Amino acid sequence: MVTFTTTVSRKTPLDGRLEIPASLADRLLSSGEPVSVSVQGIDEGANVEAMACTCDKAGGNHEHHFLRADALKVLPPNSSVTLLVDLEEGRIEIDSTP
């Protein structure tokens, strides 16, 4: 089980994307298991996505990595969430409790 805490982007309620580190994206993709998320009682399949970016955060061209699922749209912007990741099952439980 891997635990990761992150802040929900202002865009997540609009596009259903929650940014995750590249290392977690790689581990999820290499597991070979389909990815699913559970958030606020909603269970749904999810995709791991990479998006090319040129923002100044990393000094030029790089990629951001995301979990993508409509269920993530229920997360309030700027809230802190904890991801409980079961790599063997490909399941991610998202705790949005303040």
Query: pLDDT digits over 2-48, tens only?
Result: 999 999 999 999 999 999 999 999 999 998 889 999 999 999 999 99
pTM: 0.88
Query: pLDDT digits over 66-98, tens only?
Result: 999 999 999 999 999 999 999 989 999 999 876
Structural domain boundaries, residue 45:
2-95
CATH number at residue 32: 2.40.330.10
Number of domains in the chain: 1
Do residues 36 and 90 lie in contact, with contact meaning Cβ atoms separated by under 8 Å? yes
